[in-house]
Structure 1
């Protein structure tokens, strides 16, 4: 089988959807018999230091032509195009969502990332994406031919614990502490539900320290400290316990190229409240979730109140979520699609 290298910036055990996807894909390809070398690149991508840029180009250009390269999107969209062109092996770009679509970018940075990623994608032998939404953007805005794109939807695993919702109802949100995840909107929405009985947990690795500090300040200013637990990163066993105890899942995201956490909620039979943005409408079935506009705390609050107070609707949506979750692909399915891409290069 085709040997490969998988180049990923930073710590592969980082708890974000993108890193979980790539770690599972690396394990899955090896499980299918591929000799896959893991190359750990500098953790400053997509805004690399000069040293990390030079080291990345050096490591990737040293690969032998027979070893295909799968290159993480944080690097692919920001690495120097002239350096990328020196790589001798066929390149598979792993694009979760275009970097120029990240929340909070200034105009100059957005323009730079768009041009760099568009130019770099022209050098890819093939492109792996997690969703039809990302595929559509790459074809329409980045000039990537559809035949060069394979949609390898993230896989899921069966939950280790049965559902055991607690009282008061637990509202669970999982996403890194970054403006794109909209935790500030969620806190504003929760402040409108003071008349109801609930508690909430926000789980997510520290990504933007300034944003995280602002969330803590907002939490105290809104008087939610005794009802909302801003937990940061937790062990997988603790996260499994929270999913099992939750009554509903919510994420006030401003954009998602896919959103693995929604699949995690579906396989556990959790009704979802989130935002109609990016790939979310394709990921969260209509019968299993209530979708509102991004940055609309009032609408998000009303949707959560509906599921907290309407037991029949909540139970109907929970059953729909579980049905959808049971139909999701496995990580073996994801690895098989990527394996076929490597074999066809």
Structure 2
């Protein structure tokens, strides 16, 4: 049985801070055990990707304590925050970085540490084709060392949907990069129409931003529920007609496929990995609407079409049901990650 040491951010199982990256990591760890790997988890406390000196020291001590030639799967959140630490130990370890996003695109101060970790790694696993290509371009990585393992999705009952399509759902931490301000501005432009909007996601990432949203004219018709998981999150999806994800960029967007697994159409941005997550139905139809990111007028126009055009709703719902049948599960994702780890474990020289 081959051992893999998985280095994770310290909040991996914090129910108050659910994230796509944490859920991906947890499913991969469980899936690798099912494939016969001996998984050794190491959660490192810290404010990743900007850790304290103590957190860097703890990470260094952890890696130094692993045996020579150990296979290490390192979460990209940790790698981007302390790239010099794994890079300095890459010669004695078999390092694979799991890159959930391109941190260097978001923050200039993370480019150098992220580059050092990725360039030193024996392999990099990304969560989308878009993310793979972006990392190759930004950091001049050898393409043969960069792989894709897109998130899986669990089967779920099809949402019933209401006749008028008025129940809007957004699932994302309430923070500027997720575009809730764009959503509020767009909803204010369609105040003459019947709709309700539920925003599920953490409210503590940026309290000032949340306060400004609550003061927005559209906020009286928006329900900010905070984070939901498990059955509570399932219930939110089951009650929804349309998933609206106004993010300014996503490497993939797990909530997109979670909605599509229930036959719920998606309205999101034509940016980064989001079109890849939306995908196409078998007949080529788009199971949702794509708009320019950060554009309230475009988002409002798409929402107005959805709410005012029954034929459009019917077409998108048919496409979403078709796309539902094409989605792959977590066993496929884990298998792809396992193949990369096995190749690294078996490499010589």
TM range (shorter): over 0.9
Alignment partner, residue 191 of structure 2: 194
Structure 1: gaps (5+ residues): none
Are 2:146 and 1:149 aligned? Answer: yes
**Aligned match for 1:131, one of 128, 131, 152:** 128
Q: Is the 8 A contact 1:2 1:67 kept in 2?
A: no
Say which SS state the counterpart of residue 73 (structure 2) adopts: strand
1:90-101 aligned at under 5 Å gives the runs: 90-101=94-105
Alignment partner, residue 35 of structure 1: 38
Q: Is the 8 A contact 2:244 2:267 kept in 1?
A: yes
- CA change 1:142–1:283 in 2 (3 A) is same
User: What TM-score comes out, normalization by structure 2 length?
Assistant: 0.91
State the alpha-carbon separation in 2 of the partners of residues 82 and 184 from structure 1: 37
4+ aligned runs moved over 3 Å, structure 1: none
Say which SS state the counterpart of residue 77 (structure 1) adopts: helix
State the alpha-carbon separation in 1 of the partners of residues 98 and 250 from structure 2: 15
Q: Is the 8 A contact 2:79 2:86 kept in 1?
A: no
Structure 2: gaps (5+ residues): 281-285, 345-349
Alignment partner, residue 12 of structure 1: 12
State the alpha-carbon separation in 2 of the partners of residues 27 and 82 from structure 1: 26
State the alpha-carbon separation in 2 of the partners of residues 99 and 253 from structure 1: 15
**Aligned match for 1:266, one of 260, 279, 292:** 260
1:98-117 aligned at under 5 Å gives the runs: 98-102=102-106, 105=107, 110=108, 112-117=109-114
Alignment partner, residue 57 of structure 1: 60
- CA change 1:235–1:280 in 2 (3 A) is closer
State the alpha-carbon separation in 2 of the partners of residues 285 and 172 from structure 1: 19
Alignment partner, residue 180 of structure 1: 177
State the alpha-carbon separation in 2 of the partners of residues 310 and 83 from structure 1: 54
Say which SS state the counterpart of residue 193 (structure 1) adopts: coil
State the alpha-carbon separation in 2 of the partners of residues 72 and 308 from structure 1: 41
- CA change 1:223–1:255 in 2 (3 A) is closer
State the alpha-carbon separation in 2 of the partners of residues 304 and 216 from structure 1: 24
Root-mean-square deviation (CA, aligned residues, Å) is 1.7
State the alpha-carbon separation in 2 of the partners of residues 83 and 155 from structure 1: 28
State the alpha-carbon separation in 2 of the partners of residues 245 and 129 from structure 1: 32
CA positional deviation for 1:149: 1.3
User: What TM-score comes out, normalization by structure 1 length?
Assistant: 0.92
**Aligned match for 1:224, one of 209, 219, 237:** 219
Q: Is the 8 A contact 2:124 2:146 kept in 1?
A: yes
CA positional deviation for 1:80: 4.3
Are 2:137 and 1:140 aligned? Answer: yes
State the alpha-carbon separation in 1 of the partners of residues 69 and 104 from structure 2: 32
Q: Is the 8 A contact 2:87 2:121 kept in 1?
A: no
Count of residue pairs the alignment pairs up: 334
Farther off after superposition, 79-88 or 193-202: 79-88
CA positional deviation for 1:337: 0.9
Say which SS state the counterpart of residue 122 (structure 1) adopts: helix
CA positional deviation for 1:93: 0.5
Alignment partner, residue 161 of structure 2: 165
Say which SS state the counterpart of residue 36 (structure 1) adopts: strand
CA positional deviation for 1:167: 7.4
Alignment partner, residue 84 of structure 1: 87
Alignment partner, residue 302 of structure 1: 301
**Aligned match for 1:22, one of 9, 22, 25:** 25
Q: Is the 8 A contact 2:83 2:116 kept in 1?
A: no
CA positional deviation for 1:7: 0.6
CA positional deviation for 1:335: 0.7
State the alpha-carbon separation in 2 of the partners of residues 82 and 16 from structure 1: 25
Are 2:316 and 1:321 aligned? Answer: no
**Aligned match for 1:48, one of 48, 51, 65:** 51
State the alpha-carbon separation in 2 of the partners of residues 171 and 48 from structure 1: 37
CA positional deviation for 1:179: 1.3
